[in-house]
Structure 1
Amino acid sequence: MKKIKLHKFKIKNQEIRAILYLLPALLVIGVFQFYPIFKSFSMGFYTKFDYLTDIVFERGLDNFIYVLRDPEFLMALKNTFIFAFISAPLGILAALVIALILNSNIKFKKFFRSAYFLPFVTSTTAVSIVWRWMLNKDYGVINAILGTFGMAKVSWLTDPKMTIPILIALSIWKGLGYKIIIILAGLQSVDDRYELAGRMDGASKLRRLRYITLPLIKPTMVFLSITTLISSFKIFDEVYILYQQKPGPLQSGITIVYYIFEKFYREWEFSKAAAASFILFVVILIITIVQFIFAARYKEE
Protein backbone atom coordinates (compact mmCIF):
# COMPACT_ATOMS: atom_id res chain seq x y z
CA MET A 1 0.00 0.00 0.00
CA LYS A 2 1.15 3.42 -0.88
CA LYS A 3 1.74 5.75 1.99
CA ILE A 4 -0.49 8.77 1.90
CA LYS A 5 1.35 11.89 2.87
CA LEU A 6 -0.65 14.37 4.91
CA HIS A 7 0.17 17.98 4.30
CA LYS A 8 -0.59 20.50 6.97
CA PHE A 9 -3.03 23.18 5.93
CA LYS A 10 -1.32 26.49 6.37
CA ILE A 11 -3.16 29.75 6.31
CA LYS A 12 -1.01 32.30 4.62
CA ASN A 13 -3.44 35.18 4.79
CA GLN A 14 -2.84 36.93 8.12
CA GLU A 15 -6.28 38.57 8.14
CA ILE A 16 -8.09 35.24 7.82
CA ARG A 17 -5.92 33.79 10.58
CA ALA A 18 -6.73 36.71 12.86
CA ILE A 19 -10.46 36.30 12.17
CA LEU A 20 -10.29 32.60 13.04
CA TYR A 21 -8.55 33.40 16.32
CA LEU A 22 -11.13 36.06 17.17
CA LEU A 23 -14.14 34.05 16.03
CA PRO A 24 -14.93 32.37 19.41
CA ALA A 25 -14.83 35.72 21.24
CA LEU A 26 -16.88 37.37 18.47
CA LEU A 27 -19.52 34.66 18.74
CA VAL A 28 -19.84 35.16 22.52
CA ILE A 29 -20.02 38.96 22.13
CA GLY A 30 -22.53 38.65 19.30
CA VAL A 31 -24.84 36.29 21.19
CA PHE A 32 -24.74 37.99 24.59
CA GLN A 33 -24.25 41.66 23.62
CA PHE A 34 -25.12 42.54 20.04
CA TYR A 35 -28.15 40.28 19.76
CA PRO A 36 -29.80 41.66 22.94
CA ILE A 37 -29.25 45.21 21.64
CA PHE A 38 -30.95 44.48 18.32
CA LYS A 39 -33.65 42.42 20.02
CA SER A 40 -34.49 45.19 22.49
CA PHE A 41 -34.55 47.68 19.64
CA SER A 42 -36.98 45.54 17.65
CA MET A 43 -39.14 44.87 20.73
CA GLY A 44 -39.54 48.62 21.16
CA PHE A 45 -41.65 48.66 18.00
CA TYR A 46 -44.08 45.97 19.20
CA THR A 47 -47.48 47.38 20.12
CA LYS A 48 -49.19 44.02 20.48
CA PHE A 49 -47.01 41.01 21.15
CA ASP A 50 -47.65 37.45 22.32
CA TYR A 51 -44.57 36.61 24.41
CA LEU A 52 -45.47 32.91 24.53
CA THR A 53 -45.75 32.32 20.79
CA ASP A 54 -43.32 35.08 19.76
CA ILE A 55 -45.83 36.46 17.26
CA VAL A 56 -45.92 40.17 16.46
CA PHE A 57 -49.34 41.62 15.72
CA GLU A 58 -48.52 45.28 15.17
CA ARG A 59 -45.48 47.51 14.89
CA GLY A 60 -45.03 51.23 15.34
CA LEU A 61 -43.28 54.11 17.09
CA ASP A 62 -45.92 54.39 19.80
CA ASN A 63 -43.67 52.99 22.52
CA PHE A 64 -40.82 55.41 21.79
CA ILE A 65 -43.26 58.33 21.64
CA TYR A 66 -44.89 57.23 24.90
CA VAL A 67 -41.54 56.94 26.70
CA LEU A 68 -40.27 60.32 25.47
CA ARG A 69 -43.51 61.98 26.57
CA ASP A 70 -43.84 60.16 29.89
CA PRO A 71 -43.26 62.63 32.77
CA GLU A 72 -41.81 59.81 34.86
CA PHE A 73 -39.20 59.03 32.20
CA LEU A 74 -38.35 62.71 31.82
CA MET A 75 -37.82 62.95 35.58
CA ALA A 76 -35.64 59.81 35.42
CA LEU A 77 -33.66 61.32 32.54
CA LYS A 78 -33.16 64.56 34.47
CA ASN A 79 -32.08 62.78 37.66
CA THR A 80 -29.68 60.54 35.74
CA PHE A 81 -28.04 63.46 33.95
CA ILE A 82 -27.66 65.45 37.19
CA PHE A 83 -26.23 62.44 38.98
CA ALA A 84 -23.84 61.45 36.18
CA PHE A 85 -22.42 64.89 35.40
CA ILE A 86 -21.81 65.68 39.08
CA SER A 87 -20.66 62.35 40.49
CA ALA A 88 -18.28 61.45 37.63
CA PRO A 89 -16.14 64.65 37.70
CA LEU A 90 -16.14 64.88 41.49
CA GLY A 91 -15.19 61.22 41.82
CA ILE A 92 -12.29 61.54 39.38
CA LEU A 93 -11.09 64.76 41.02
CA ALA A 94 -11.17 63.23 44.51
CA ALA A 95 -9.37 60.13 43.25
CA LEU A 96 -6.72 62.28 41.55
CA VAL A 97 -6.00 64.23 44.74
CA ILE A 98 -5.73 61.09 46.87
CA ALA A 99 -3.63 59.30 44.24
CA LEU A 100 -1.18 62.22 44.14
CA ILE A 101 -0.86 62.05 47.92
CA LEU A 102 -0.36 58.28 47.90
CA ASN A 103 2.20 58.61 45.11
CA SER A 104 4.36 60.86 47.30
CA ASN A 105 6.73 59.71 50.03
CA ILE A 106 4.27 59.02 52.85
CA LYS A 107 4.17 56.22 55.38
CA PHE A 108 1.77 53.25 55.26
CA LYS A 109 1.17 53.49 51.49
CA LYS A 110 0.01 49.90 51.17
CA PHE A 111 -2.41 50.25 54.07
CA PHE A 112 -4.08 53.34 52.60
CA ARG A 113 -4.29 51.76 49.15
CA SER A 114 -6.01 48.71 50.60
CA ALA A 115 -8.32 50.85 52.73
CA TYR A 116 -9.45 52.94 49.75
CA PHE A 117 -9.84 49.90 47.48
CA LEU A 118 -11.90 47.88 50.00
CA PRO A 119 -15.27 49.61 49.34
CA PHE A 120 -14.94 48.92 45.60
CA VAL A 121 -14.68 45.14 46.06
CA THR A 122 -17.46 45.14 48.65
CA SER A 123 -20.95 44.26 47.45
CA THR A 124 -23.10 47.24 46.50
CA THR A 125 -25.98 45.67 48.41
CA ALA A 126 -23.93 45.45 51.61
CA VAL A 127 -22.65 49.00 51.22
CA SER A 128 -26.15 50.38 50.60
CA ILE A 129 -27.55 48.58 53.65
CA VAL A 130 -24.80 50.04 55.85
CA TRP A 131 -25.44 53.53 54.47
CA ARG A 132 -29.17 53.10 55.07
CA TRP A 133 -28.44 52.28 58.70
CA MET A 134 -25.99 55.19 59.05
CA LEU A 135 -28.48 57.68 57.59
CA ASN A 136 -31.46 56.51 59.64
CA LYS A 137 -33.12 59.47 61.32
CA ASP A 138 -33.74 57.82 64.69
CA TYR A 139 -30.71 55.60 65.35
CA GLY A 140 -28.27 56.43 62.55
CA VAL A 141 -24.62 57.19 63.24
CA ILE A 142 -24.68 60.45 61.27
CA ASN A 143 -27.50 61.96 63.32
CA ALA A 144 -25.86 60.67 66.51
CA ILE A 145 -22.68 62.57 65.61
CA LEU A 146 -24.72 65.69 64.80
CA GLY A 147 -26.50 65.33 68.14
CA THR A 148 -23.21 65.56 70.01
CA PHE A 149 -22.79 69.05 68.56
CA GLY A 150 -26.32 70.05 69.54
CA MET A 151 -27.67 69.90 66.00
CA ALA A 152 -31.16 68.68 65.12
CA LYS A 153 -31.76 65.33 63.47
CA VAL A 154 -31.89 65.34 59.66
CA SER A 155 -34.34 63.25 57.65
CA TRP A 156 -31.73 61.98 55.23
CA LEU A 157 -33.77 59.24 53.59
CA THR A 158 -37.20 60.87 53.61
CA ASP A 159 -36.30 64.32 52.30
CA PRO A 160 -36.59 64.44 48.46
CA LYS A 161 -33.97 67.19 48.28
CA MET A 162 -31.36 64.92 49.86
CA THR A 163 -31.85 61.94 47.53
CA ILE A 164 -29.52 62.91 44.65
CA PRO A 165 -26.76 64.31 46.95
CA ILE A 166 -26.80 61.09 48.99
CA LEU A 167 -26.60 58.96 45.84
CA ILE A 168 -23.71 61.10 44.56
CA ALA A 169 -21.81 60.77 47.84
CA LEU A 170 -22.40 57.01 47.95
CA SER A 171 -21.29 56.56 44.34
CA ILE A 172 -18.11 58.59 44.82
CA TRP A 173 -17.17 56.74 48.00
CA LYS A 174 -17.94 53.32 46.48
CA GLY A 175 -15.88 53.80 43.32
CA LEU A 176 -13.04 55.84 44.79
CA GLY A 177 -10.67 52.90 45.28
CA TYR A 178 -10.84 51.71 41.68
CA LYS A 179 -10.12 55.20 40.32
CA ILE A 180 -7.23 55.68 42.74
CA ILE A 181 -5.59 52.43 41.63
CA ILE A 182 -5.94 53.33 37.94
CA ILE A 183 -4.55 56.85 38.44
CA LEU A 184 -1.71 55.51 40.58
CA ALA A 185 -0.76 53.14 37.77
CA GLY A 186 -0.65 56.10 35.39
CA LEU A 187 1.40 58.22 37.79
CA GLN A 188 3.94 55.48 38.36
CA SER A 189 4.45 55.11 34.61
CA VAL A 190 5.64 58.74 34.38
CA ASP A 191 9.40 58.95 34.02
CA ASP A 192 11.05 60.68 37.00
CA ARG A 193 13.34 62.57 34.64
CA TYR A 194 10.50 64.87 33.60
CA GLU A 195 9.83 65.77 37.23
CA LEU A 196 13.53 66.32 37.83
CA ALA A 197 13.81 68.56 34.78
CA GLY A 198 10.90 70.65 36.04
CA ARG A 199 12.55 71.06 39.43
CA MET A 200 15.82 72.11 37.83
CA ASP A 201 13.95 74.76 35.84
CA GLY A 202 12.47 76.12 39.07
CA ALA A 203 8.86 75.09 38.38
CA SER A 204 6.58 74.91 41.42
CA LYS A 205 4.63 71.79 42.36
CA LEU A 206 1.42 73.13 40.83
CA ARG A 207 3.15 74.03 37.56
CA ARG A 208 4.83 70.62 37.40
CA LEU A 209 1.47 69.00 38.03
CA ARG A 210 -0.26 71.08 35.35
CA TYR A 211 2.36 71.02 32.59
CA ILE A 212 4.13 67.69 33.21
CA THR A 213 2.14 65.17 35.23
CA LEU A 214 -1.42 65.74 33.98
CA PRO A 215 -0.53 65.79 30.24
CA LEU A 216 1.43 62.55 30.63
CA ILE A 217 -1.44 60.72 32.34
CA LYS A 218 -4.08 62.13 29.98
CA PRO A 219 -4.86 58.71 28.39
CA THR A 220 -5.57 57.34 31.87
CA MET A 221 -7.86 60.25 32.71
CA VAL A 222 -9.72 59.91 29.39
CA PHE A 223 -10.27 56.21 30.06
CA LEU A 224 -11.57 56.95 33.56
CA SER A 225 -13.87 59.75 32.41
CA ILE A 226 -15.49 57.54 29.76
CA THR A 227 -15.96 54.46 31.93
CA THR A 228 -17.10 56.46 34.97
CA LEU A 229 -19.68 58.43 33.02
CA ILE A 230 -21.05 55.28 31.40
CA SER A 231 -21.37 53.50 34.75
CA SER A 232 -23.02 56.60 36.26
CA PHE A 233 -25.81 56.42 33.68
CA LYS A 234 -26.51 52.83 34.72
CA ILE A 235 -27.07 53.50 38.44
CA PHE A 236 -29.72 51.23 39.92
CA ASP A 237 -28.52 49.06 42.82
CA GLU A 238 -27.86 51.98 45.15
CA VAL A 239 -31.37 53.38 44.69
CA TYR A 240 -33.07 50.00 44.93
CA ILE A 241 -31.36 48.95 48.18
CA LEU A 242 -30.93 52.31 49.90
CA TYR A 243 -34.62 53.20 49.60
CA GLN A 244 -35.98 49.69 50.17
CA GLN A 245 -37.02 48.84 46.60
CA LYS A 246 -38.48 52.29 45.98
CA PRO A 247 -37.19 55.17 43.82
CA GLY A 248 -36.73 57.49 46.78
CA PRO A 249 -39.29 59.78 48.44
CA LEU A 250 -41.72 61.22 45.88
CA GLN A 251 -39.73 59.38 43.18
CA SER A 252 -36.87 61.81 43.69
CA GLY A 253 -34.34 59.05 43.05
CA ILE A 254 -35.82 57.47 39.96
CA THR A 255 -33.25 56.88 37.22
CA ILE A 256 -33.49 55.57 33.66
CA VAL A 257 -32.48 52.04 34.66
CA TYR A 258 -34.98 52.09 37.53
CA TYR A 259 -37.66 53.26 35.09
CA ILE A 260 -36.82 50.33 32.80
CA PHE A 261 -36.96 47.97 35.80
CA GLU A 262 -40.41 49.21 36.81
CA LYS A 263 -41.81 48.93 33.30
CA PHE A 264 -40.37 45.45 32.75
CA TYR A 265 -40.72 43.65 36.09
CA ARG A 266 -43.54 45.45 37.86
CA GLU A 267 -45.85 46.71 35.10
CA TRP A 268 -45.01 44.03 32.52
CA GLU A 269 -44.78 46.68 29.81
CA PHE A 270 -41.99 44.86 27.99
CA SER A 271 -42.11 46.90 24.79
CA LYS A 272 -41.98 50.21 26.62
CA ALA A 273 -39.09 48.95 28.74
CA ALA A 274 -37.27 47.89 25.57
CA ALA A 275 -37.84 51.32 24.01
CA ALA A 276 -36.51 53.05 27.13
CA SER A 277 -33.46 50.78 27.25
CA PHE A 278 -32.61 51.56 23.63
CA ILE A 279 -32.99 55.29 24.31
CA LEU A 280 -30.51 54.87 27.18
CA PHE A 281 -28.15 53.05 24.82
CA VAL A 282 -28.35 55.92 22.33
CA VAL A 283 -27.72 58.53 25.05
CA ILE A 284 -24.64 56.68 26.32
CA LEU A 285 -23.38 56.18 22.75
CA ILE A 286 -23.70 59.89 21.92
CA ILE A 287 -21.95 60.96 25.13
CA THR A 288 -19.12 58.47 24.52
CA ILE A 289 -18.63 59.69 20.94
CA VAL A 290 -18.53 63.31 22.13
CA GLN A 291 -15.90 62.39 24.72
CA PHE A 292 -13.77 60.68 22.08
CA ILE A 293 -14.05 63.71 19.80
CA PHE A 294 -12.93 66.11 22.53
CA ALA A 295 -10.10 63.77 23.51
CA ALA A 296 -8.92 63.57 19.88
CA ARG A 297 -9.01 67.37 19.48
CA TYR A 298 -7.06 67.83 22.71
CA LYS A 299 -4.48 65.33 21.49
CA GLU A 300 -4.03 67.20 18.21
CA GLU A 301 -3.49 70.46 20.07
Structure 2
Amino acid sequence: MKRNIAIVWGGYSSEIIVSEKSMAGVYSFLDKDKYNVYKVKITKESWSVDFEGAILPVNKNDFSFTLPNSESSIPFDFAFIIIHGTPGEDGRLQGYFDMLSTPYSTCGMMASSLTMNKFICNNYLKNFGIKVADSLYLNKETEYETKSIAEKLGFPMFVKPNSGGSSFATTKVKSEDKLQEAINIAFNETKDVIIEKFIAGTEVTCGCYKIKDKATIFPLTEVVTANEFFDYDAKYEGQVEEITPARISDEMTKEIKSLTSKIYDLVGAKGIIRADFIISDNTPYLLEVNTTPGMTKTSFIPQQIAAAGLNITEVLTEIIENEFDVN
Protein backbone atom coordinates (compact mmCIF):
# COMPACT_ATOMS: atom_id res chain seq x y z
CA MET A 1 0.00 0.00 0.00
CA LYS A 2 1.29 3.45 -0.89
CA ARG A 3 2.41 5.77 1.88
CA ASN A 4 0.70 9.16 2.14
CA ILE A 5 3.28 11.92 1.84
CA ALA A 6 2.39 15.48 2.83
CA ILE A 7 4.46 18.25 1.23
CA VAL A 8 4.15 20.83 4.00
CA TRP A 9 4.49 24.40 2.73
CA GLY A 10 3.41 27.93 3.61
CA GLY A 11 4.56 29.51 6.85
CA TYR A 12 4.16 32.73 8.78
CA SER A 13 6.61 35.03 7.00
CA SER A 14 7.30 36.69 3.66
CA GLU A 15 9.08 33.51 2.63
CA ILE A 16 5.75 31.84 1.88
CA ILE A 17 6.16 32.79 -1.78
CA VAL A 18 9.48 30.90 -1.89
CA SER A 19 7.94 27.98 -0.03
CA GLU A 20 5.25 27.69 -2.70
CA LYS A 21 7.90 27.48 -5.41
CA SER A 22 9.79 24.80 -3.47
CA MET A 23 6.57 22.86 -2.88
CA ALA A 24 5.95 22.77 -6.63
CA GLY A 25 9.49 21.53 -7.16
CA VAL A 26 9.23 18.75 -4.58
CA TYR A 27 5.82 17.72 -5.92
CA SER A 28 7.34 17.29 -9.38
CA PHE A 29 10.30 15.31 -7.98
CA LEU A 30 8.50 12.78 -5.77
CA ASP A 31 7.70 9.29 -7.06
CA LYS A 32 3.91 9.23 -7.62
CA ASP A 33 4.01 5.50 -8.42
CA LYS A 34 5.40 4.82 -4.94
CA TYR A 35 3.60 7.49 -2.89
CA ASN A 36 0.28 9.29 -2.62
CA VAL A 37 1.48 12.90 -2.57
CA TYR A 38 -0.57 15.72 -1.05
CA LYS A 39 0.06 19.46 -0.78
CA VAL A 40 -0.51 20.67 2.78
CA LYS A 41 -0.53 24.43 3.39
CA ILE A 42 0.13 25.79 6.87
CA THR A 43 -0.52 29.44 7.72
CA LYS A 44 -1.44 31.25 10.93
CA GLU A 45 -5.07 31.15 9.80
CA SER A 46 -5.46 27.51 8.82
CA TRP A 47 -4.00 24.11 7.95
CA SER A 48 -5.40 22.71 4.71
CA VAL A 49 -4.80 20.02 2.11
CA ASP A 50 -5.40 20.13 -1.62
CA PHE A 51 -7.37 16.95 -2.39
CA GLU A 52 -8.12 16.65 -6.10
CA GLY A 53 -8.70 20.41 -6.29
CA ALA A 54 -10.81 20.61 -3.13
CA ILE A 55 -9.26 22.50 -0.20
CA LEU A 56 -9.99 20.53 2.98
CA PRO A 57 -9.08 21.18 6.63
CA VAL A 58 -6.28 19.20 8.25
CA ASN A 59 -6.95 17.65 11.64
CA LYS A 60 -4.08 18.87 13.85
CA ASN A 61 -4.81 16.25 16.51
CA ASP A 62 -3.44 13.41 14.39
CA PHE A 63 -2.26 15.10 11.14
CA SER A 64 -4.95 13.67 8.88
CA PHE A 65 -7.91 14.84 6.82
CA THR A 66 -11.43 13.60 6.17
CA LEU A 67 -12.66 12.88 2.67
CA PRO A 68 -15.56 15.00 1.32
CA ASN A 69 -19.03 13.62 2.07
CA SER A 70 -17.48 10.80 4.05
CA GLU A 71 -16.34 9.83 7.52
CA SER A 72 -13.21 8.18 6.11
CA SER A 73 -10.01 9.73 7.40
CA ILE A 74 -6.69 9.71 5.57
CA PRO A 75 -3.63 9.93 7.84
CA PHE A 76 -0.36 11.36 6.57
CA ASP A 77 2.52 8.92 6.99
CA PHE A 78 5.34 11.38 6.33
CA ALA A 79 5.86 15.15 6.24
CA PHE A 80 8.17 16.62 3.62
CA ILE A 81 8.71 20.03 5.21
CA ILE A 82 9.43 22.82 2.76
CA ILE A 83 8.49 25.86 4.86
CA HIS A 84 11.31 28.40 4.80
CA GLY A 85 11.27 30.27 8.10
CA THR A 86 8.83 29.76 10.95
CA PRO A 87 7.23 27.36 11.82
CA GLY A 88 8.87 24.81 9.52
CA GLU A 89 12.54 25.71 9.78
CA ASP A 90 12.83 26.73 13.44
CA GLY A 91 11.86 23.47 15.17
CA ARG A 92 8.22 24.20 15.92
CA LEU A 93 6.72 21.81 13.39
CA GLN A 94 9.44 19.27 14.13
CA GLY A 95 8.37 19.23 17.78
CA TYR A 96 4.74 18.74 16.72
CA PHE A 97 5.61 15.81 14.46
CA ASP A 98 7.83 14.29 17.15
CA MET A 99 4.86 14.25 19.53
CA LEU A 100 2.77 12.47 16.89
CA SER A 101 5.64 10.09 16.00
CA THR A 102 5.25 11.21 12.38
CA PRO A 103 8.53 11.02 10.45
CA TYR A 104 9.66 14.06 8.48
CA SER A 105 12.32 15.14 6.01
CA THR A 106 14.29 17.80 7.87
CA CYS A 107 16.54 18.15 10.90
CA GLY A 108 15.01 17.55 14.32
CA MET A 109 13.64 20.19 16.66
CA MET A 110 16.91 21.09 18.39
CA ALA A 111 19.05 21.21 15.24
CA SER A 112 16.39 23.26 13.42
CA SER A 113 16.13 25.73 16.30
CA LEU A 114 19.91 26.10 16.49
CA THR A 115 20.53 26.63 12.78
CA MET A 116 17.59 29.00 12.38
CA ASN A 117 19.31 31.45 14.72
CA LYS A 118 22.22 32.61 12.58
CA PHE A 119 24.08 34.41 15.37
CA ILE A 120 23.92 31.57 17.87
CA CYS A 121 24.65 28.89 15.26
CA ASN A 122 27.70 30.64 13.81
CA ASN A 123 29.12 31.39 17.25
CA TYR A 124 28.51 27.79 18.34
CA LEU A 125 30.35 26.47 15.28
CA LYS A 126 33.17 28.96 15.81
CA ASN A 127 34.06 27.00 18.95
CA PHE A 128 34.92 24.04 16.72
CA GLY A 129 37.27 25.95 14.44
CA ILE A 130 34.72 26.98 11.80
CA LYS A 131 35.62 30.50 10.64
CA VAL A 132 32.76 33.01 10.52
CA ALA A 133 32.39 36.76 10.00
CA ASP A 134 32.51 39.10 12.98
CA SER A 135 28.96 40.00 13.95
CA LEU A 136 26.65 41.74 16.41
CA TYR A 137 23.21 40.72 17.65
CA LEU A 138 20.29 43.05 18.32
CA ASN A 139 16.80 42.45 19.61
CA LYS A 140 14.14 45.09 20.14
CA GLU A 141 15.25 45.62 23.74
CA THR A 142 18.92 46.11 22.83
CA GLU A 143 20.34 49.57 23.42
CA TYR A 144 22.76 50.47 20.64
CA GLU A 145 24.38 53.32 18.78
CA THR A 146 24.96 53.17 15.05
CA LYS A 147 28.30 54.88 15.55
CA SER A 148 29.64 52.12 17.80
CA ILE A 149 28.38 49.45 15.40
CA ALA A 150 30.20 51.21 12.57
CA GLU A 151 33.40 51.42 14.59
CA LYS A 152 33.29 47.73 15.49
CA LEU A 153 32.43 46.21 12.10
CA GLY A 154 33.37 48.86 9.53
CA PHE A 155 31.77 49.32 6.12
CA PRO A 156 30.33 47.75 4.15
CA MET A 157 28.34 45.47 6.45
CA PHE A 158 25.26 43.27 6.16
CA VAL A 159 22.12 43.83 8.21
CA LYS A 160 19.60 41.01 8.09
CA PRO A 161 16.92 39.19 10.06
CA ASN A 162 18.63 36.80 12.47
CA SER A 163 16.06 34.07 11.97
CA GLY A 164 15.02 34.55 8.36
CA GLY A 165 16.21 33.38 5.00
CA SER A 166 15.92 33.93 1.26
CA SER A 167 17.59 37.35 1.73
CA PHE A 168 14.30 39.04 2.65
CA ALA A 169 14.90 42.34 4.48
CA THR A 170 18.67 41.98 4.02
CA THR A 171 20.64 45.15 3.29
CA LYS A 172 24.26 45.79 2.37
CA VAL A 173 25.10 49.00 4.21
CA LYS A 174 27.95 51.20 3.02
CA SER A 175 27.66 54.21 5.34
CA GLU A 176 26.44 55.06 8.82
CA ASP A 177 23.60 57.28 7.59
CA LYS A 178 21.95 54.21 6.01
CA LEU A 179 22.45 51.87 8.98
CA GLN A 180 19.39 52.71 11.09
CA GLU A 181 17.07 52.34 8.10
CA ALA A 182 18.54 48.89 7.36
CA ILE A 183 18.07 47.83 10.99
CA ASN A 184 14.43 48.97 10.88
CA ILE A 185 13.81 46.98 7.69
CA ALA A 186 15.21 43.83 9.28
CA PHE A 187 13.15 44.33 12.45
CA ASN A 188 10.02 44.54 10.31
CA GLU A 189 10.66 40.93 9.27
CA THR A 190 11.78 39.32 12.56
CA LYS A 191 12.19 40.20 16.23
CA ASP A 192 15.98 40.03 16.19
CA VAL A 193 18.71 41.20 13.84
CA ILE A 194 22.25 40.13 13.00
CA ILE A 195 24.80 42.61 11.68
CA GLU A 196 27.84 41.05 9.99
CA LYS A 197 31.16 42.36 8.79
CA PHE A 198 31.44 42.21 5.01
CA ILE A 199 33.92 39.68 3.64
CA ALA A 200 34.93 40.04 0.00
CA GLY A 201 35.55 36.84 -1.90
CA THR A 202 34.07 33.98 -3.90
CA GLU A 203 30.71 32.69 -2.67
CA VAL A 204 30.04 28.96 -2.87
CA THR A 205 27.45 26.61 -1.44
CA CYS A 206 27.57 22.89 -0.66
CA GLY A 207 24.71 20.45 -0.13
CA CYS A 208 24.91 17.29 1.93
CA TYR A 209 22.79 14.47 3.34
CA LYS A 210 23.55 11.39 5.40
CA ILE A 211 21.61 8.18 5.94
CA LYS A 212 22.70 5.17 7.98
CA ASP A 213 26.42 4.79 7.25
CA LYS A 214 26.32 6.68 3.96
CA ALA A 215 27.29 10.32 3.47
CA THR A 216 26.58 12.11 0.19
CA ILE A 217 28.24 15.49 -0.31
CA PHE A 218 27.26 17.23 -3.54
CA PRO A 219 29.46 19.21 -5.93
CA LEU A 220 29.87 22.85 -4.93
CA THR A 221 28.04 25.67 -6.68
CA GLU A 222 29.73 29.02 -7.26
CA VAL A 223 27.45 32.05 -7.03
CA VAL A 224 28.17 35.01 -9.31
CA THR A 225 25.88 38.04 -9.44
CA ALA A 226 26.16 41.61 -10.66
CA ASN A 227 23.86 42.66 -7.80
CA GLU A 228 25.30 44.08 -4.58
CA PHE A 229 25.01 40.61 -3.06
CA PHE A 230 23.08 37.35 -3.48
CA ASP A 231 19.74 38.99 -2.73
CA TYR A 232 16.16 37.85 -3.41
CA ASP A 233 16.21 38.98 -7.04
CA ALA A 234 19.48 37.13 -7.60
CA LYS A 235 18.13 33.98 -5.94
CA TYR A 236 14.68 33.82 -7.47
CA GLU A 237 14.48 36.25 -10.39
CA GLY A 238 17.42 34.91 -12.35
CA GLN A 239 19.83 37.79 -11.69
CA VAL A 240 22.70 35.42 -10.99
CA GLU A 241 25.06 32.96 -12.59
CA GLU A 242 25.27 29.65 -10.75
CA ILE A 243 28.21 27.48 -11.76
CA THR A 244 28.28 23.82 -10.73
CA PRO A 245 30.89 22.56 -10.04
CA ALA A 246 32.47 25.73 -8.66
CA ARG A 247 35.58 27.11 -10.36
CA ILE A 248 37.87 26.65 -7.37
CA SER A 249 40.84 24.41 -6.69
CA ASP A 250 40.47 20.73 -5.90
CA GLU A 251 42.07 21.39 -2.53
CA MET A 252 39.56 24.11 -1.62
CA THR A 253 36.68 21.97 -2.88
CA LYS A 254 37.83 19.11 -0.67
CA GLU A 255 38.19 21.43 2.34
CA ILE A 256 34.71 22.90 1.97
CA LYS A 257 33.14 19.48 1.50
CA SER A 258 34.91 18.33 4.66
CA LEU A 259 33.68 21.41 6.55
CA THR A 260 30.12 20.83 5.35
CA SER A 261 30.22 17.22 6.56
CA LYS A 262 31.67 18.35 9.90
CA ILE A 263 28.99 21.01 10.31
CA TYR A 264 26.29 18.43 9.50
CA ASP A 265 27.45 16.33 12.43
CA LEU A 266 28.08 19.23 14.83
CA VAL A 267 24.54 20.58 14.53
CA GLY A 268 22.99 17.11 14.54
CA ALA A 269 21.51 17.48 11.08
CA LYS A 270 19.14 15.15 9.26
CA GLY A 271 17.88 15.14 5.68
CA ILE A 272 19.41 17.54 3.16
CA ILE A 273 21.20 20.66 4.37
CA ARG A 274 23.16 23.36 2.57
CA ALA A 275 26.14 25.28 3.94
CA ASP A 276 27.06 28.63 2.36
CA PHE A 277 30.63 29.92 2.40
CA ILE A 278 32.66 32.89 1.21
CA ILE A 279 36.28 32.20 0.23
CA SER A 280 38.58 35.11 1.08
CA ASP A 281 42.39 34.94 0.89
CA ASN A 282 42.15 31.21 0.34
CA THR A 283 40.19 30.80 3.59
CA PRO A 284 36.56 29.61 3.67
CA TYR A 285 34.22 31.49 6.03
CA LEU A 286 30.83 30.02 6.87
CA LEU A 287 27.93 32.35 6.04
CA GLU A 288 25.07 30.20 7.28
CA VAL A 289 23.61 26.71 7.52
CA ASN A 290 20.30 26.12 5.75
CA THR A 291 18.37 23.05 6.95
CA THR A 292 15.39 23.62 4.63
CA PRO A 293 17.10 24.58 1.38
CA GLY A 294 15.13 25.74 -1.62
CA MET A 295 13.83 22.94 -3.84
CA THR A 296 12.61 24.73 -6.94
CA LYS A 297 13.74 23.16 -10.19
CA THR A 298 16.49 25.77 -10.47
CA SER A 299 17.56 25.79 -6.80
CA PHE A 300 21.08 24.84 -5.73
CA ILE A 301 20.27 21.38 -4.37
CA PRO A 302 18.58 20.04 -7.53
CA GLN A 303 21.47 21.51 -9.57
CA GLN A 304 24.04 19.81 -7.36
CA ILE A 305 22.22 16.48 -7.39
CA ALA A 306 22.20 16.58 -11.19
CA ALA A 307 25.90 17.55 -11.30
CA ALA A 308 26.67 14.57 -9.06
CA GLY A 309 25.05 12.29 -11.64
CA LEU A 310 22.24 11.37 -9.24
CA ASN A 311 18.50 11.17 -9.80
CA ILE A 312 16.62 13.59 -7.54
CA THR A 313 13.55 11.35 -7.33
CA GLU A 314 15.74 8.51 -6.08
CA VAL A 315 17.54 10.80 -3.61
CA LEU A 316 14.26 12.03 -2.08
CA THR A 317 12.90 8.48 -1.96
CA GLU A 318 16.05 7.39 -0.14
CA ILE A 319 15.63 10.18 2.43
CA ILE A 320 11.96 9.29 3.00
CA GLU A 321 12.52 5.56 3.32
CA ASN A 322 15.46 6.08 5.67
CA GLU A 323 13.11 7.66 8.21
CA PHE A 324 10.95 4.54 8.25
CA ASP A 325 14.01 2.31 8.57
CA VAL A 326 15.25 4.16 11.66
CA ASN A 327 11.85 4.68 13.35
Structure with the largest fraction of strand: 2
Structure with the largest fraction of helix: 1
What TM-score do you get using the length of structure 2 for normalisation? 0.27
Select the structure with the greater relative contact order (CA < 8 A; seq sep ≥ 6): 1
Q: In terms of Rg, which structure is larger?
A: 1
What TM-score do you get using the length of structure 1 for normalisation? 0.28
